[in-house]
Amino acid sequence: MEKKFSFKSPDGCKRILALCLILILLGSGFARLIHCDFGRVKIEQFKIDARGATIDGEMFYPAGTNSDDKLPCIVFMPGTASTFSTVRNFCIESARRGYVALAVSGYSIGLSEQPMNDELGPGSFGQYDVLEYARSMTFIDQTRIGLAGHSMGGGSTSMLVAKDCGYFSYNDQLINLLCDEFGQTFTREEIDQNAGELAAARLTEDQLKLFDYRAAEIKEHYDTRVKSAMILGATFEDTPLETVNVGGYEVQRNVQCNVCQLFGEFDSDCVFGHTSDTVKEEFYTSDDIQLRKWYSIDDVNSSSTILGDFRDLTIVNSPALAEAFANRCARLTVSNPESHSKTIFSLRSMADYIDYFTQALDYNNGNYSEGAVPTPGSKQVWNIGRAGNFIAMLAALFMVLPLLQLLLGLKLYRPAAGAVAIPENRSVGKGYYWIFLVLTAVATWFACKYAQGPAGFIHNNYFKLTFTAGATIIYIVAMGVLSLALLAVKLIVDKMKDGKLDLEPLNLKMSFKGAALSWLLAFILIAVLYNSLMIIDYLFKEDYRLCMLDITFMKVEYWFLAARYAIVFVIPYFIMGACINYKLRTDIPEWEEDLIAVIMGSVGVWALCLVNYFISKKTGDEYLFSSFISTFQFNLWVPIILYILRKMYRITRNLWTGAVFCSCLVAWSLASTVGAHSSYIGQNWLSIFFNI
């Protein structure tokens, strides 16, 4: 088996390449099979153009749906640095329970364009346009539409709920109707009374007929506004109490929509959401909001009532909860032991999402209040499908290695191979070896921690991507500086111990032609990787992804944007490659040496994540040691990049190919998903010509 699958022979490389291709197809095909629920869920990708710029999205709904159906709908908006594929898991689980679920990449994110103007402001990100699109579908029940959003999408959801539902109750609107169109006046006490009864007592017969007609119009509009929303990774603070005028009197009202906020205990943006004064005002209480308790808000009496536990109380066994949902005044706060990023790929949060909307939209495999047997939120399959995506991604990334070996066998690319071979049976003192491995782990710890601070918010005319890309820049540059320092220490130690340096196997003195061909090989491998993505998209409509780590499609002009970041990354990655490959041990099996190097090079990030968890768990909401909002994907990216740098050096005996390939790969991932909504990047002839 070892001889058949080996990098040391062309046939071995071809077999490895073939195996990778098979795993890509099997992983992607398996993911598609799970995501479409074995053919029971239809998945459509769509583009809509509401304001001169297309928005890219995906829709899930039960197969066999027709215009006679009336299904509930949820429109989901992902957060910053996320395309619709990031929240595909929510759509999968919703559609399996009979919902129509839509998710989009916000304006200027992924393949979505950026409009010249949006009257809703930059905080909408196109969710309103998708909501209006959903309202055009005949098979969607317009009285049961929900919104959901994570992080930036949570803010968008809050904004949209306020715009769509407003702050006037149905009775408030009828009181204002009587005042504005029928000339009625009321005392402060009367505006809280039943408007229909007041109309019957005051209006003439003809006036009452007109009032009933207008009231029916208002009721239809009121009932077809967003009924329920879930804000993930954001809080009720985005939908505060508002002062409105009812019947000539200023009164305070909550947004007219049932709302749930869901956040992680270790979410630095939200940990105080249920204890803040703004939220307490919304609930008309001086006490902290109790978690996992159904609340009913009473704006008329400026009070709130705790109805019962989230899991115990349902619209079937509690008329009070059913009435709260009917009156659009139900509230729920849910928290799980998670970070901000973890919320969107959490089994716990997914279960809460499903179980909330089962009550909030009265649906789960049928009308819940009419006896439908629901699929509980705990019964999920999305994670199984995502495993297929991850296997395909790892296979695609590994695929470039045997391909690189085969290309180096061609006469054209032979100058890219370093002239000095890696010494065989080279051993390194155990103390020397492990000390520098530990120092590497410490370096990754500090670089990741530093990238999470204010320095991560890099944004200017050159670096147009959002702050999450800034955090990546800081980490890579910091690791470049720290790797240079570690390499310098290694050289000093070797000079003092042996009286000489051991730089020759790094082949730093490559010819210009050899270096240029090394760059060309990296570009070819990136092109091959992109083409493999096109194949699985054509066959299965899948991409390469696990959690926050993804490789997906990118607008043509964004390659120029990605190039700006890639240029910055090349030198730090070159230095990192020199540091981790200097005096490479060859006295132990290659797989063992690579495994040790990758683990020790990544453990700093992993340890930082764990320390954050344990400290936050111990101190509760008082202190977050480290925010992983912009750096959670480092937990996977760091070991992958380290392995590629190590393996490409073994194959080519040069540092350029690995450095350039990794720079392009990370820049591609950033530019394809992070988005540039902080600054305007208009459409140009490239995007128009290529229609992407």
Per-residue pLDDT, 691: 67
Percentage of residues in the chain with pLDDT exceeding 70? 95
Confidence of residue 1 (pLDDT cuts 50, 70, 90): very low
Q: Which residues are within 8 A (CB) of 175 and not within 5 positions of it... i.e. 6 or more apart?
A: 186, 191, 195, 198, 246, 247
Domain boundaries, the chain: 10-26+385-681, 38-166+225-380, 168-224
Weakest mean pLDDT among 16-30, 144-158, 481-495, 662-676? 662-676
For 381, residues 6+ apart whose C-beta sits below 8 A from its C-beta are: 34, 37, 92, 93, 96
pLDDT value, residue 61: 97
For 614-637, what is each residue's pLDDT tens digit?
A: 777 766 545 667 777 778 889 999
Instruction: Indicate the residue type of 293.
Output: K
- The percentage of residues in the chain with a pLDDT greater than 90, rounded to a whole number, is 71
Lowest mean pLDDT among 80-84, 309-313, 358-362, 484-488: 80-84
Say if residues 658 and 577 touch (Cβ distance below 8 Å). Answer: yes
pLDDT at 267: 77
With CA atoms as reference, report the closest residue to 79 among 128, 146, 149, 129.
Answer: 149
Which fold is adopted by the domain 38-166+225-380? Rossmann fold (3.40.50)
How high is the pLDDT of residue 63?
A: 96
Phi, psi of 47 (to 5 degrees): -130, 135
In the prediction, which pLDDT does 115 show? 85
pLDDT score for 626: 77
Q: DSSP class of residue 236?
A: G
Pick from 639, 648, 660: which is nearest to 597 by CA?
Answer: 639
Q: Which residue matches tokens 């009285």?
A: 143
Cα–Cα distance for residue pair 547/633, rounded to 1 Å: 8
Residue that wins the pLDDT comparison between 538 and 556: 538
pLDDT in tens, 117-153: 777 766 678 899 999 999 999 999 999 999 999 988 8
The DSSP 8-state label assigned to residue 417 in this structure reads S
Residue 675 has pLDDT above 80, yes or no: no
Strand partners, 251: 244
CB atoms within 10 A of CB 332: 23
Beta-bridge partner residues of 597: none
Residue-wise DSSP of 496-556: HHHSS---GGG--S--HHHHHHHHHHHHHHHHHHHHHHHHHHHHHS--EEETTEEE----T
Contact, 159 vs 239, CB < 8 A?
no
In the predicted structure, residue 417 carries a pLDDT above the cut 90 = yes
Q: What is the mean pLDDT of residues 556-569?
A: 91
The answer to whether residue 359 scores a pLDDT higher than 60 is yes
User: According to the model, what pLDDT value does residue 396 have?
Assistant: 97
β-sheet with 330-339: strand ranges across: 41-49, 54-62, 100-105, 71-77, 140-150, 228-232, 258-266, 330-339, 293-298, 303-309
**What distance in Å separates the CA atoms of residue 651 and residue 405, rounded to the nearest whole number?**
6
The 10s digit of each residue's pLDDT in 471-514 is 899 999 999 999 999 999 999 998 888 788 889 999 999 999 99
Q: What is the pTM of this model?
A: 0.92
